[in-house]
Amino acid sequence: MPTTHRVAVLGGGSFGTVIANLIALNGHRVCLWLRNAARVEAIERDRENSEYLPGYRLDHKLRATTSLDDAISDIDILLLAVPSASFREVARSLTGSLSPETLLVSLTKGIEAPGFHLMSEILAQELPDNPRAVLSGPNLAGEIAAGHITGSVVASPSEAINRTLHDLMHGERFLVYSSLDMYGVELGGALKNVYAILAGLGSALEFGENTIGMLLTRSLTEMSRFAVERGANPMTFLGLAGVGDLFVTCSSPLSRNYRIGQAIGRGQPLAEILAGMDQVAEGINTLELLKTEADRRGVHMPLVNGLYGILHHSRPVSDVFNDMMTREQAQDVEFVAG
């Protein structure tokens, strides 16, 4: 008989909401935690998070609350879907309130500043006694809500944890795969946001299909090159959390980072773009952290350096793209099996 879990999801944006509802549809009791009392009231009344997913019906086994203590009471799995900038604050607020058996799962694709801390590392620092995992992949929340078939990856060092999370979320239209390379899966989800901005720039400048193909593959090369330097398995980047997520984020107008790139390519100031967005675009935050860390480690990343020059040194977009493409290292595939 399938195990029924007691689950809390912290963060009521589009992704937190859709994942919470998928879990509820699988028969589990889920509590969704939000800070906004009016939105909680609307979700409870209308069975819909109209702010982020209008028209998406929420299952009766999902309830919403503004009380963190209420949300995490008597749970065995906790998923965090809050922005990276507030991730540590939320994790720290859980200290002393969870059973050490409670499984922690990060849904957040980002990196903490200052320094270079992934969300799983923050969980290890703030809640070291709890088991940890991450979820990542080409997962646009609006498409999941619309019922499009979607694949995602759960990653932890434990096959038992991965099986638990597979059973928790897997369904006919949300397919869950597993990986033991938690760090590589998490890095793939965080780094691709930077390259989505570049892809949006290329779209605005009407690059040809050949150029876009080169841009995407060189982006994948940079991501895996950096990740290997940080201890990840380069083969992870051939899966959903690598090339899958990169392709979707670099080609869809549903991607916030892609839309930022398009707006920059059309000449709109970055501050104006960000002021008009209702959700965080993690790629902007990640870019500076990634460049600093790559420089410190001596990792060759011309695409990152070029985008940084565009956004922070007002370099012309066309000049920087030309510079990036002509100065790239000649080797095509840097990591091969066997």
| 109 marked ligand binding residue | yes
| 280 marked ligand binding residue | yes
Reduced to 3 states, what is the DSSP secondary structure of residue 135? strand
| 233 marked ligand binding residue | no
| 257 marked ligand binding residue | yes
What is the residue whose two structure tokens read 């590589």? 184
| 158 marked ligand binding residue | no
What is the residue whose two structure tokens read 């604050």? 89
CA 282, CA 189: separation in Å to the nearest integer?
Answer: 10
**At how many degrees (to 10) do helices 14-25 and 159-169 cross?**
90
CA 200, CA 249: separation in Å to the nearest integer?
Answer: 10
Catalytic residue among 28, 88, 132, 192: 192
| 12 marked ligand binding residue | yes
| 231 marked ligand binding residue | no
**Contact assessment for residue 245 and residue 283, using Cβ atoms and an 8 Å cutoff:** no
| 52 marked ligand binding residue | yes
**What are phi and psi for residue 142, nearest 5 degrees?**
-60, -35
| 188 marked ligand binding residue | no
CA 39, CA 51: separation in Å to the nearest integer?
Answer: 8
- What's the burial of 268, exposed, middle or buried (CB within 10 Å: 0-12/13-18/19+)? middle
| 16 marked ligand binding residue | yes
| 13 marked ligand binding residue | yes
Among the residues of 175-301, which ranges form H helices? 182-204, 209-229, 245-249, 256-265, 270-275, 282-297
| Annotated catalytic residue 192 | yes
Q: Binding site membership for sn-glycerol 3-phosphate: which residues? A: 109, 137, 192, 245, 255-257
Q: Point out the residues that are catalytic.
A: 192
Q: Binding site membership: which residues? A: 11-16, 35, 52, 109, 137, 141, 192, 245, 255-257, 280, 282
Q: Binding site membership for NADPH: which residues? A: 14-15, 35, 52, 109, 141, 256, 280, 282
Q: Binding site membership for NAD(+): which residues? A: 11-16, 141, 256
Q: Binding site membership for substrate: which residues? A: 109, 256-257
